Structure 1
């Protein structure tokens, strides 16, 4: 049985190999916008595809951040519309939402943003933060930091593995 994420990764790797060099970073950026692949996975796809590591990392991170920015802006507008319509009233809280809010109160926006990619895609974390009322610019700033951190870490590890295997 195939895994949809690994199928996507293989598809992006094949696409990177099949397009002209100038287009390859755009494919990596597109891969970075996909949840569960993200900037770090996209950077690894680009490096394996022969793109210079810095270019692959930047392309993956930019693709991931652009997608997260769209999610934050849409979630912020939806939250504003819902709270305006309800008059800011109290909403029932699901078990999943309660768990997220507990983590948020314990770690704050920085902690949830930086540790979130270990459990969830940045798009999901950004939407959850924004929907709880964290200002969109604060969410974007911390998500950008998380994307830069994790993309850099995975890029360095991928380079180390490639050099070790060579």
Structure 2
């Protein structure tokens, strides 16, 4: 999938490549980190690559979070005994690390869209989840753009 997004982005006219990166950033498991790297490898300025990937990831994450918030408001808070094992794991992570920890570290296990929606569904404050997810999305995007830039410099492209 990542190769497909990269090829799509490289195939766009140079002035529209940022759009390909933004669309890639909106895809779970591609997100800001791989989106930023794809943009850098495709030849975009790293700042433009990060901004586009972050924008796409944030818009996608917001859609998931706001949908989860609406569902939670309709259903109310769920009894932990009736939760699925995955949701119980999210709750344990939330209890252990809080919203900041799950937001910053959660992307190592799950896409930001899924982890943020799970946090909201589990009862975390929507504004807190959105704020920490945005911080996390930016940090991961910048980190992977720096790694991609170093790799491009190393290869000499």
- Which of residues 80, 87, 102 in structure 1 aligns to 2:92? 102
Q: Is the contact between residue 25 and residue 53 of structure 2 (CA under 8 Å) also seen in structure 1?
A: yes
How far, CA to CA, are the matches of 2:130 and 2:143 in structure 1?
20
What's the Cα RMSD here? 1.3
For these two proteins, the number of residue pairs brought into alignment is 155
Match for residue 35 of structure 1?
A: 28
Aligned ranges for residues 49-128 of structure 1 at < 5 Å? 49-83=42-76, 90=79, 92-128=82-118
Q: Is the contact between residue 87 and residue 122 of structure 2 (CA under 8 Å) also seen in structure 1?
A: no
Secondary structure of 2:83's aligned partner: coil
Displacement over 2 Å in runs of 4+: 88-91
Match for residue 4 of structure 1?
A: none
How far, CA to CA, are the matches of 1:18 and 1:162 in structure 2?
19
In the alignment, structure 1 segments of 5+ residues that lack a partner are: 1-7
Query: Which structure exhibits the higher relative contact order, with contacts defined as CA atoms closer than 8 Å and separated by 6 or more residues?
Result: 2
TM-score by length of 2: 0.93
In the alignment, structure 2 segments of 5+ residues that lack a partner are: none
Match for residue 16 of structure 2?
A: 23
Match for residue 136 of structure 1?
A: 126
- The C-alpha deviation readout for 1:54-111, integer Å capped at 9, x for no partner, is 101110011001100111111100111112xxxx573612222222111110100000
How far, CA to CA, are the matches of 1:126 and 1:65 in structure 2?
11
How far, CA to CA, are the matches of 1:155 and 1:96 in structure 2?
31
Q: Is the contact between residue 41 and residue 149 of structure 2 (CA under 8 Å) also seen in structure 1?
A: no
Secondary structure of 1:36's aligned partner: coil
TM-score by length of 1: 0.89
Structure having the higher Rg: 1
